[in-house]
Amino acid sequence: MTTPQPTGVQTSREHVDLLLYSDDSHTRAAVIEAVGRRAGKGLPLVRWTESATQAGAVEKVENNDFALLVLDGETAKVGGMALARQLKNEVYDCPPVLILTGRPQDQWLATWADADAVAPFPLDPMELQEAVAGLLRAQLA
């Protein structure tokens, strides 16, 4: 008997899809490297979809089923916090959002944006991986 997956989550026994939004290719590479191929023991492998623009991120979220969105709050033009607030207000059954903040003190802004979790810069790979794993476990439970 197969366990049903939560609505809006595209996953298999082997993969889970995540969106990573940042206009900085170095930030995207650092996040992908920090999280690794699997965010935690017992979790599926991670498949990343990257977006460097707000329009691209919105289109991808509207047309795909992601288990988690990782948004860079320091992205130019439209930051991850503004994008999180937009997606949480406009997308039915929006996936959980992890916002990368410029400073630990920016957590209150992430709360305004309806973020489910926050990871401050400079990125701590263990903290980031644990935040992603926690959100994925909650989403896939």
pLDDT the model gives residue 71: 98
pLDDT the model gives residue 84: 98
Assess contact for 141 and 11: CB atoms under 8 A. Answer: no
Report helix, strand and coil shares of the chain as percent, to nearest 5: 40, 20, 40
Question: Model confidence over 52-65: pLDDT tens digits?
Answer: 999 999 999 999 99
For residue 62 the two structure tokens come to: 């509207």
Q: How far apart are CA 21 and CA 24, in angstroms?
A: 9
* Residue 21: pLDDT over 60: yes
Question: Model confidence over 90-128: pLDDT tens digits?
Answer: 999 999 999 999 987 888 899 999 999 999 999 999 999
pLDDT the model gives residue 141: 84
Question: Model confidence over 23-45: pLDDT tens digits?
Answer: 999 999 999 999 999 999 999 99
Q: Taking the domain 15-140, which CATH number applies?
A: 3.40.50.2300
For residue 54 the two structure tokens come to: 């707000």
Query: In this prediction, what percent of the chain has a pLDDT beyond 70?
Result: 91
Q: How far apart are CA 31 and CA 134, in angstroms?
A: 16
Which residue in 97, 85, 89 sits closest to 136, CA to CA?
Answer: 97
Where are the chain's structural domains?
Answer: 15-140
Q: How far apart are CA 89 and CA 86, in angstroms?
A: 5
* Residue 12: pLDDT over 90: no
* Residue 86: pLDDT over 70: yes
Residues 71-85 have a mean pLDDT of 96
Q: Is 121 helix (H, G, I), strand (E, B) or coil?
A: coil
